[in-house]
Structure 1
Amino acid sequence: MISVCIVTLNTRKYLKRCLDSLPKAFGSLNFEIIIIDNASNDDTVDLIKECYPNVVYLKNNKNLGYTIPMNQAISIAKGDYILQLNPDTELDANSISIQIEYMEKNQDVGICIPKIIDGNGDFQKSSRRGVPTPWATISYFLGLSRLLSENVFFTKYRLEHLDENTICEVDAVSGSCMLIKREVIDQIGMLDEKFFAYQEDSDFCFRAKKANWKILYNPASKITHFTGKGGSKTFPILSLFEWHRSYYYLYKKHLSNNYSKIFNLLYAFIMIIKLLISTSIYLLKR
């Protein structure tokens, strides 16, 4: 059985599309659905009661971010596979059964993700990732990886130089549709709750890879992710802060020992400046 774990916040319309697409995505496979609601006020609870009575639905009293609620779902999941899924996704027919079949045939693959496109049909480059070293991250922030997408020197984070239609092993994948073998969680534990939201998926993948599990991008199937509809826009300033904080915490946890204390302070300063610029741009656009 596969356990579908979803964290939602005021995404009633998109959540319905997501849930309606699940049966065809699994084919003949058995699955359960667990939804953790971060105190939505858009009548999500009525939707679940009326249309999806078999869904396991738990509602928190406040917004706990992404990582804590996802761990809530994982902790009660019964499946041999865990599918972390964003509520603003829509799955193609057999998109998950194809991934399960591949993972069953490749026992050393612990985490897999299908091809993810956005609402316009464009490939979401951030769904597969390399290691976010300072240079890789800065190249991404400055747009160099987009402008020089064929040059691996500038594309080490989002891996733009790789063919989006070719299966490949990567360092990390997005949690928007991340399929995980239960054995991986049993071995390395659940998500690190110091990540309020963002980059908890990369951290989990890095830990899995250190435990000798392979992480695969497998475009044999695809899903659509309507980016930004999953609740992050409900608290935009908080989302901006946590996005930048998570990038730095990931760096501090996995990469900072490779650099001097002076460089680490400089990198923290760069992240603060980036946060201030992003926040200012957002406020000016309001």
Structure 2
Amino acid sequence: MTGPTRETVAVVVVTFNRADLLARVLDGLAAQTHAPDAVVVVDNASTDHTRDVLDAATVPGLQRLHLTENTGGAGGFHTGVAAAHEQGFDRVWVIDDDVVPAPDCLAVLMAQDEACVTAVREDRSGALVEKAATRFDLANPLHARPKRSMVETDFGTRAAMPERVAVENVAFEGFLVRREVIDRIGLPDPAFFIFYDDCDYAIRAREAGYTIWAVRDAVLVRQLDFDQQHDLAGWKGYYMYRNLFAVHRRHGRNALVRLKPWLLALAVVVLSPLRGGRGEARNVWRAVRDSRDLATLSDVARPARPA
């Protein structure tokens, strides 16, 4: 008798001008007790010393994809997942360039006989900072924010978590999927550029019938603080609003939820003197207008049609 077939796994890392953080990620991947079969690094046209870091990397199976323009995290993950899928790997593990996996992180995830699993993040002090939603409500139009609860607030500490927790969205910081998921729902959508591409992908997976499990003992250490919410008047704020509105348009469970972006935009404009001022007001109106172009999945992200 022969034993069970070992599943292959490719890691996809997307980076842009964060060479020193990338070096830590690659060191963490090189130290995995379950060695990945390939590590696909998508370099979004970095202008720092990213190439030097990759030249010095000792991680096995390194593949380098140097893009000629910055396609954002969404474009990078689209490119990297497509490359891993085309090469026939059984699973694909997506990692951002600002997290470092514990040595047994991949081994713990690979031991889960599930199509969709994700690691659980902590900060450098060891505090739980896993913001994956345990409830992401796209049915109630009265909820300004669809994320109603998350792992961090539900449990407080990693020790208080059960071994696995079902989550309704993820970050592309430790999400592991089997190729059957990619076959069925397609690729990450590069149209998002940054923010909510991972949320959209998780919702698409759940709409296809998959459960996503956050695995307590698969540890990722986040190297940076969460500060996105403080840039609502800047260029990041535009993408945060636009893409959140696109998620409502794509996945809202009823007409009122799909119309909610207009109400949210109006509320932001009214409150903008107390928040981000004219910059945030301009961002939100541009975002609600431009989100109409993202109301449906991009053609390049759709699953391939059978030959």
Distance 1:76 1:264, change over 3 A: closer
Tell me if structure 2 keeps the 8 A contact 1:241–1:275. no
Does 1:160 pair with 2:153?
A: yes
Counterparts of 1:245 and 1:23, CA distance in 2: 37
- Mapping for residues 76-95 of structure 1, pairs under 5 Å: 76-77=83-84, 78=87, 79-95=89-105
TM-score under structure 2 length normalisation:
0.74
Equivalent of residue 2 in structure 1, options 4, 9, 12: 9
- What SS does the aligned partner of 1:161 have? helix
Unaligned runs of 5+ in 2: 1-7, 281-307
Normalising by structure 1, report the TM-score. Answer: 0.79
Following TM superposition, by how much is the alpha carbon of 1:238 offset from its aligned partner in structure 2, in angstroms? 2.4
CA distance in 1, matches of 2:36, 2:151: 33
Given residue 85 of structure 1, which amino acid in structure 2 is its aligned partner?
A: I
Distance change in 2, residues 1:56/1:261 (3 Å): closer
Contact 1:38 1:60 in 2 (8 A): yes
2:82 equivalent to 1:75: yes
SS of residue paired to 1:114: strand
Native 8 Å contact 1:119 1:225 kept in 2:
yes
Q: State how 1:1-286 maps to structure 2 within 5 Å.
A: 1-25=8-32, 27-52=33-58, 54-77=61-84, 78=87, 79-103=89-113, 109-133=114-138, 135-138=142-145, 155-156=148-149, 160-162=153-155, 164=158, 165-166=161-162, 167-227=164-224, 237-255=234-252, 257-259=254-256, 263-270=260-267, 279-280=276-277
Whole-angstrom distance in 2 between the partners of 1:275 and 1:15: 37
1:131-178 per-residue CA deviation (whole Å, 9 max, x = no partner) reads: 1445555486xxxxxxxxxxxxxx436672346522211212211111
| CA 1:198–1:32: 2 relative to 1, 3 Å | same
Cα distance in 1 for partners of 2:278, 2:99 equals: 27
Three-state SS of the structure 1 residue aligned to 2:53 is helix
Q: 3-state DSSP class of the match of 2:221?
A: strand
Shift of 1:277: 6.7
Does the 8 A contact of 1:38 with 1:62 survive in 2?
yes
Q: Give the CA deviation at 1:186.
A: 0.6
Identity %: 19
**Per the alignment, do residues 208 and 260 of structure 1 end up closer, same or farther by CA in structure 2, a change over 3 Å counting?**
closer
Report the CA distance shift for 1:251/1:41 in structure 2 as closer, same or farther (over 3 A): same
Change (3 A) 1:282 1:218: farther
Structure 1: stretches of 5+ with no match in the other structure:
104-108, 141-154
* 1:91-126 Cα deviation digits (max 9, x unpaired): 1121111111012xxxxx321112201233221241
Contact 2:170–2:199, Cα closer than 8 Å, also in 1: yes
SS in 2 for 1:160: helix
- The Cα RMSD (Å) is 3.3
Q: Quick one: structure 1 residues 226 and 30, their matched pair in 2 at CA, closer, same or farther if it must change by over 3 Å?
A: closer
Q: How far did residue 10 of structure 1 move?
A: 0.9
Contact 1:110 1:180 in 2 (8 A): yes
**Deviation at residue 206 of structure 1 after TM alignment:** 1.1
Q: Secondary structure at the match of 1:156?
A: strand
Deviation at 1:50, TM superposition (A): 3.0
CA distance, structure 1, for counterparts of residue 94 and residue 275 of structure 2: 28
User: For the residues of structure 2 that align with 1:273 and 1:129, how far apart are their CA atoms?
Assistant: 30
User: What does residue 143 of structure 1 align with?
Assistant: none
